[in-house]
Amino acid sequence: MIQKWIKDAWQVADWKTIRQVAVVFLLIASLLLLVFKLPDWKRDFVSSTLDTEGIATLISYRRLEAMSQSETGNTMILHALEVTYAFDWKEKRYVCTENVPNTIKNQPFIEGILTRSINTFTVQFQAKNPTESQLLVN
């Protein structure tokens, strides 16, 4: 029965329709890839340009959330954490703020910050310009 249905559908389908379905599928797949992977790719690219590591101390954090409506009610969805931290370099103290996206890769770090089990962490920065820094969440 299923084989007959597939055979009939294949005979009826034309290549224009098949191409249109393939293009729509590729657009949806690329959009999902962009939405879920771009924050990690961006952080990996920035970290490749940084050359020095140090220890940073957590000053504060702020949850970046948005309201989501569903059948069961309204819930808040955490999109990122805005983390403010300080680190010392060449007898100067630098304070920076960074948005850490809520991705699978960053989930243990975000949970550690929210439960206050992480107070210090590693930060990468450029030796010439320490204000360009990024948290290491690994």
pLDDT of residue 6: 66
pLDDT of residue 77: 77
The pLDDT profile of the chain, 138 residues, written as one tens digit per residue, is 667 766 666 666 666 777 788 888 888 888 877 766 666 666 666 666 666 788 888 898 898 877 777 777 777 777 888 889 898 888 888 888 888 888 888 888 888 888 888 888 888 887 777 777 777 776
Coil, strand or helix at 93:
strand
DSSP conformational letter for 127 = S
The whole model's pTM is what? 0.61
pLDDT of residue 132: 74
pLDDT of residue 46: 63
Ranges of each domain in the chain? 2-43, 50-135
pLDDT of residue 47: 63
CA distance 107 to 101: 9
DSSP conformational letter for 43 = H
In 3D space, the residue among 123, 120, 118 whose CA is nearest the CA of residue 136 turns out to be 123
pLDDT of residue 11: 65
- Put residue 137 in one of left, alpha, beta given phi > 0 → left and psi -120 to 50 → alpha: alpha
pLDDT of residue 56: 87
pLDDT of residue 28: 86
